[in-house]
Structure 1
């Protein structure tokens, strides 16, 4: 074998052993289990008449598996693929502190992989068209109807949710949808958390709807918590402040509300504090410290 042939053979062997060694190392590397949120499961609903396929992120209370006769309040959260974990962390911390009751939290999301959440949520969270954005938006009425007719019955059938104790929360467009639901079907939920709601869309459409509702004299027997962030986009925050300032003037019969501007935060950063404080406010009548279980 000449020198050139010997060199080629050595290179071939080196490549072979290098490849097999790399493959062996890859095969031998430990595969760690992915992290998941405890006491949480995913449920996919059949595609509805509007062609929407919803996936529910269901976070169950610690006693759910042992207290078989108990029914629980349920909190529905928009944008569950983003916000369920934030809401669940705040919830679990405050249950430990005995300032929240045990509850079921249902994050509202979509079935499928690699989804464009921006366009999907734009389709249904806003009651008005979103300007030049190509979302085909303005279908909040269809989403609310699906929550009422499909999602709520499913949750109450499958998870022992208390139909007398339903709550709704969301941020940004989700906060706008939360307020839209309150001014459309106020009897559907007993409490609302609207974090940085997009109330300025379509020249304050939501504020005009609130004023029309006030003129009707119809009650809203619920609790409402509304926030904005100190460093939101200025026009966005100005609209939130207009709504917050209007609430005392509107004097909705039956509505108990609280407003707050979260200092030092921008738009998405306000979620953690908004949800934590919002939970405590809207669930105060049921909390162990202040509610019916206070002596236990």
Structure 2
């Protein structure tokens, strides 16, 4: 028993030293970062919104100081920016998309409730009659036009004639809303699993109203749904996809797709990858097909 106590005492006395040794043995590795990327927090604007931009610059950016680049703006940048940049790097390597700048749209600050923030920002219509914290997409669109576009075009050589927009879910709904509300702002749109059902198919009413004007939409549009979305949610997407050929928007080139085997969030990777290929096709260095 005495020997056990002595051994236990020795072990306990050795623990602090062992712990210190273990802590010292772990190197201070640098955090992982996405290459050629930066975060830029913007001052709070007139609507009290504090935006943060996730910016990825193409490989040639520093070497070609007089060159301007197309820009893909992506909603929910705090979630989707890494996915889009990863796919972009692969597609650009294959020469099926041009070099372009990616801007993830997000919010500055720590411990944020992204669900609440994005509901205010991305919904063009109130999610329900009492939800005053939704339905402000026009204010977000105005912030893009008045604050974010000028900054990118001044400080990062973004080409004002080559803007593109992508988003998923509510971000996809915002993307469709932007196309109808301000069709002159963007040359291409990727709407991944857009929340068409919001406001009882509100966006379908906007699409029909715009089509009735006969005005063109000089852009490319890629719309997806996921095979295993919530059934009612997917049905809304399918209603919009089925309506697109009937609307006959002059000059709009579009493609619909259902991502097989995926649910709501899992569809993002393929939706963005295929969407980028489609909307940037006119600027692609190559067609994407293998050479004989």
Structure 1 residue 254, shift from structure 2 partner = 1.5
Equivalent of residue 187 in structure 1, options 157, 178, 184: 184
Residues 1-296 of structure 1 aligned to structure 2 (within 5 Å):
15=12, 17-131=14-128, 136-290=133-287
After superposition, give the CA deviation of every residue in 1:232-253 in whole Å (9 maximum; x if it has no partner): 0001000100000100111111
Distance in 1 separating the partners of 2:24 and 2:130 = 47
After superposition, give the CA deviation of every residue in 1:128-187 in whole Å (9 maximum; x if it has no partner): 112389671111011000011001111111111111100000000000000000010000
Deviates more, 1:124-133 or 1:274-283: 124-133
Q: Is the Cα contact below 8 Å between 1:232 and 1:265 reproduced in 2?
A: yes
Distance in 2 separating the partners of 1:81 and 1:255 = 30
**What's the Cα RMSD here?**
2.1
TM-score, with structure 2 as normaliser: 0.93
Partner secondary structure for residue 191 of structure 2: strand
Structure 1 residue 14, shift from structure 2 partner = 5.8
* Unpaired segments ≥5 residues, structure 1: 1-6, 292-296
Q: Is the Cα contact below 8 Å between 1:119 and 1:135 reproduced in 2?
A: no
TM-score, with structure 1 as normaliser: 0.92
Distance in 1 separating the partners of 2:26 and 2:285 = 48
Structure 1 residue 9, shift from structure 2 partner = 11
Q: 1:133 to 1:120 in 2, by over 3 A?
A: farther
Distance in 2 separating the partners of 1:120 and 1:20 = 47
Structure 1 residue 17, shift from structure 2 partner = 4.0
Structure 1 residue 277, shift from structure 2 partner = 0.7
* Unpaired segments ≥5 residues, structure 2: none
Partner secondary structure for residue 203 of structure 1: coil
After superposition, give the CA deviation of every residue in 1:13-36 in whole Å (9 maximum; x if it has no partner): 865542243133213321222211
Q: Is the Cα contact below 8 Å between 1:100 and 1:287 reproduced in 2?
A: yes
